[in-house]
Amino acid sequence: METDFIYWRHPTPAGIKVEEVCGGEDRQGKVWMEMARQVYCENGKEGFREIGHFANGAPFLAYSDERISITHTSHFFAVATLRPAPGVDLRVFNPATALGIDAEAANRAQVLKIRERFLSSGELQIIPADDVEQNILAWTIKEAIYKASLTEGLDFRKDIRILSLPRIDEISDFRKSDENFGKGEFSSPDGTRYILSLYSYRSEGNIITLAFSATT
């Protein structure tokens, strides 16, 4: 029996639109991903949308000046979108259009085996070694900041740092509160440090984290 794909869009307390696609459990791997992307592209408010990728791998919407970021896990696909930024080169990092999204299954216990690979010595001290969700949260933070940086080759342990952890929000009870947000930063190859805001929530068994400009 075939299962339907489910699409929905929602705002977040971070002021960033997120569109999610789930369902279709009878399909797997690349087939599922291709169909999920098609569902997303067919649900543009102004008609069909086309996703492309720059040479550095960053995604973009054809004929649009909106900055997007994409993530997926098993049977879950999400796209975060910033407001339009006319005149900004979306191929390179700009603090005004910094945006990254990452999702990971909240119960993926394998993360405990690799935490030393992506957490600094200080972060290892503040994130419990046996807490799966907090380590998943930390992983999605690092990935989201990496995507927002548009800078290849950053070291997750040295160049990307968690300054404060966000609270994991419940999608059914979004609340705009300073207590929900965290802070992170990355260092560019020239040594410049950029601060990003962090927002995390649960959806479809996943923890999703947004990293975005502190001025967004």
Digit-coded pLDDT (tens) for 36-82: 999 999 998 888 999 999 999 999 999 999 999 999 999 999 999 99
Structure-token pair, residue 135: 């380590």
Q: Determine the Cα–Cα distance for residues 117 and 165; give it in Å rounded to an integer.
A: 18
Residue 178 has a pLDDT of: 62
Looking at residues 129-143, what average pLDDT do you find? 98
Distance CA 68, CA 90 (A): 9
CA-CA distance, 209 to 188, in Å (whole number)? 21
CATH code for position 71? 3.90.470.20
- Tell me what pLDDT residue 2 has: 59
- Asked if 190 and 156 touch (Cβ cutoff 8 Å), the reply is no
On the question of pLDDT at 152 being above 60, the answer is yes
Looking from the CA of 132 toward its CB, the CA atoms found within 13 Å total 9
Q: 162 near 211, Cβ under 8 Å? A: no
At 47 the three-state DSSP class reads coil
Cα–Cα separations (whole angstroms), residue 16 to 20, 182, 210, 216: 13, 15, 9, 9
Residue span of the structural domain in which 93 resides? 5-213
Q: What's the pLDDT at 175?
A: 66
pLDDT in tens, 168-193: 998 766 766 666 899 999 999 999 99
The pLDDT, as a whole number, for residue 1 is: 43
Mean pLDDT of the chain: 93
Q: What is the pLDDT of residue 176?
A: 64
Report the domain count for the chain. 1
The answer, yes or no, to whether residue 216 has pLDDT greater than 70, is no
**pLDDT given for residue 215 in this prediction:** 59
Is the whole model's pTM more than 0.85, yes or no? yes
CA distance 91 to 47: 24
Q: Say if CB 71 and CB 21 are below 8 A apart.
A: no
Closest CA to 200 of 94, 120, 80, 35: 80
Residue type present at position 14: A
User: CA 178 to CA 13: how far, in whole Å?
Assistant: 10
